[in-house]
Structure 1
């Protein structure tokens, strides 16, 4: 029998308040009267929460109850958390506490930490819909491989966060759960497809999130919601169990990565260490040991800097931010190259779109794909709609040619990173754009410095890394006069995930972060 586990907010609020004081008292008695943790610990970085759990100044159950109360208070205005399983989370938290009581040791690096997971990743026994009415009652019998790694590390899965239908939009809304709001301004979009995850991290409903990135799905919402996100190097985190490939499929897109969202670079690094692993079928034969950061000081890095491009101009706020970063790096004594380009943005983006449209055809119905083939036969490849149709229906030979072009592009990136350690670019052309979820996608647009621009320009800069397997990190860096977060992107060599995290860590010491969103204090 299928059991639906849905949002249980009102029924948990009273129990949450009652149990918090009891759990805190128990924690103090077990630690010899140690100072109790801060009252807003759920808003602290994950590292601080994990330290409190390890020191036993708070129990997993008590921390969970704080999260449940904060979700009850905050989520109604954001609609980021869309499925909650308080009973299973309490059971897992209690087991973590019993284990610590018996052994004095944590279950793993995420011992007892409550967190949420993007609703595109399957969770055993917990409804996973990917925003699709067709999957509204889907309760997986197995965790996605990446989710299983979280549980084995000791994490407590609290619930699922919102996505657009089958992750196929740059904004987050669906007919099952509705629209997720931006925590800084509810008239703006939270982005997509990881809009629910980013809004949940920004507003303190989780300190870490497990999400996915194919066409900027992690990094776009992170930029709009003022949090950190890492598109991991292709192949270092197993992707089985990610929808929109249908439940039960063993394969996923060759352009998809699974990665973390967090509120600082240190937490990204900790989460990456849990996630980076071979697929279970390969685990007996090999391990992943990512290289250490290339350098420990900004002064020792060789930076590439790409401030703007005619193909996708950025607005004045983003330009000023990148100019500020340029001045900062030079004043720190770093080597800065603002003229050398690894690729042409327009050419790279066209290849990205070809490969994206091709990989998306895998789950088309036979009838739908036949219709696409017929439509492609009637439109030239250089027609505005021709790129989509001809890419989606390309012959295998054509895909092999496109893939060869991609590999040559990867070689060009490798040559670039032989003389540069990282490349810093804009993340998006502007701060969060207006929510347009009630407008059909073909009619949507964005405005950059007063100019009307195509809707999908939002991800042109993010697409640089998407098809060439490179790690790319988006970090918050200041805000607009209206209080919306600004962001930049750091791209590194293949498998240099820890290098881009270290650069973000160093930059964060000198750049302003976003202010706390109003939603986090609801």
Structure 2
């Protein structure tokens, strides 16, 4: 399918119009109800915005990198005049009166937000997307299977051609796991890079977090280049004038990359289908001339780091009004020291290695309602995404093929701290 960047270029050069693209997208959404990915649209607003975008092209005005591109955002971001439900019946009638900051920035770049994508109730599951407001989202590759969560509607909308670009959130892999199960690209940026005003439970006040080490918001797209575009127009300081100048990628050629690789672990052993796809991927990387570095970073014990991540999630929910933590002050301090020590070990690793490749999940998309997956516990989905979530490093899920049953397979690319474009560029070169 055509990408957001390609669509913007065609609109700018007059090869198509924003009106044509937007009408086509709205028709696909209307015809794709069996996927149930986009749960609210604002048709008239979108078409009027498309007409304005086309008028600006005709007037040769300055155009943004997403000029005239219709897109959707996850139903946890405020969009003025639209519902923000978080999949919770208690918020089913809540209508936002202003745009989230990330929505403001996307629109400033020329994007047209045509609708909202489905989420799991209160974003509280990484393996499925279902709620009492809008129902269940189904995987376009197999409607009987999950899309992951909680940004499942976002990933499914991209895979089904119901949007050109998406924005989601990632606490426990909620961008990366859906991207993996649906066969699209999903980026968890360096933590704190994209401000979160307007991404909050309805009726609560926005409080800028001094602990941005877990919850992150970021783009999902059909290719790596679109992730770069979306990140560049949304990243940066919260207060104006904001600016984001990304660190340039470390290399321009795939063969110049030094690639760390781990493809399996007893805590979440990969299925044969995932393992075969990952092995093929590493063979391709090696055949390009890139240097392969096997094993985890020195000093990293992955099972311990995954366990530490679980404690950090507990603290996150306690901080945001959930169950109070039972950890003592000394334990809290130890937890924070462990998090910072983990980040330091990974960053030292990236002194000599450019990117780290591992599974996004141990499995492909599994049937709806599963509580155990291929003999592994449901919670094992969190193992592979835990490490970048704990340390705050950028991480993206990339599609790497399909199984004999047509189900997407994926890998995860983790990059150095605040070098998101190194990971994105590696994924882009790998796809090329």
Q: TM-score range by the shorter chain?
A: over 0.9
Q: CA RMSD in A?
A: 1.7
Consecutive unaligned residues in structure 2, runs of 5 or more = none
CA distance in 1, matches of 2:201, 2:112: 25
CA distance in 2, matches of 1:304, 1:350: 22
Give the match for residue 57 of structure 1: 15
Residues 1:318 and 2:274 are matched in the alignment: yes
Residues 1:334 and 2:257 are matched in the alignment: no
Residues 1:454 and 2:410 are matched in the alignment: no
Give the match for residue 491 of structure 1: 414
Aligned residues: 428
Give the match for residue 259 of structure 2: 303
Gap change, CA 1:245 and 1:215, over 3 Å in 2: farther
Gap change, CA 1:138 and 1:325, over 3 Å in 2: same
Secondary structure of residue in 2 paired with 1:488: strand
Greater fraction helix? 1
CA distance in 2, matches of 1:246, 1:269: 32
Secondary structure of residue in 1 paired with 2:34: helix
Residues 1:445 and 2:372 are matched in the alignment: yes
Residues 1:274 and 2:233 are matched in the alignment: yes
Q: Is the 8 A contact 1:471 1:500 kept in 2?
A: yes
CA distance in 1, matches of 2:132, 2:282: 44
CA distance in 1, matches of 2:42, 2:346: 44
Secondary structure of residue in 1 paired with 2:139: coil
Give the match for residue 163 of structure 1: 119
Q: 1:213 aligns with which of 162, 170, 179?
A: 170
CA offset digits 1:72-126 (Å, max 9, x no partner): 112x11110111111211222222222333x312442211111000001111111
Gap change, CA 1:310 and 1:140, over 3 Å in 2: same
Q: Is the 8 A contact 1:241 1:248 kept in 2?
A: no
Q: Is the 8 A contact 1:239 1:256 kept in 2?
A: no
CA deviation after TM superposition for structure 1 residue 242, in Å: 1.2
Q: TM-score, normalised by structure 2?
A: 0.95
Gap change, CA 1:491 and 1:96, over 3 Å in 2: same
Secondary structure of residue in 2 paired with 1:462: helix
Give the match for residue 353 of structure 2: 420
Q: TM-score, normalised by structure 1?
A: 0.79
Secondary structure of residue in 2 paired with 1:312: coil
CA distance in 1, matches of 2:15, 2:158: 23
Give the match for residue 327 of structure 2: 394
Give the match for residue 145 of structure 1: 101
Give the match for residue 223 of structure 2: 264
Q: Is the 8 A contact 1:361 1:393 kept in 2?
A: no
CA deviation after TM superposition for structure 1 residue 322, in Å: 2.1
CA deviation after TM superposition for structure 1 residue 246, in Å: 5.2
Residues 1:179 and 2:136 are matched in the alignment: yes
CA offset digits 1:2-35 (Å, max 9, x no partner): xxxxxxxxxxxxxxxxxxxxxxxxxxxxxxxxxx
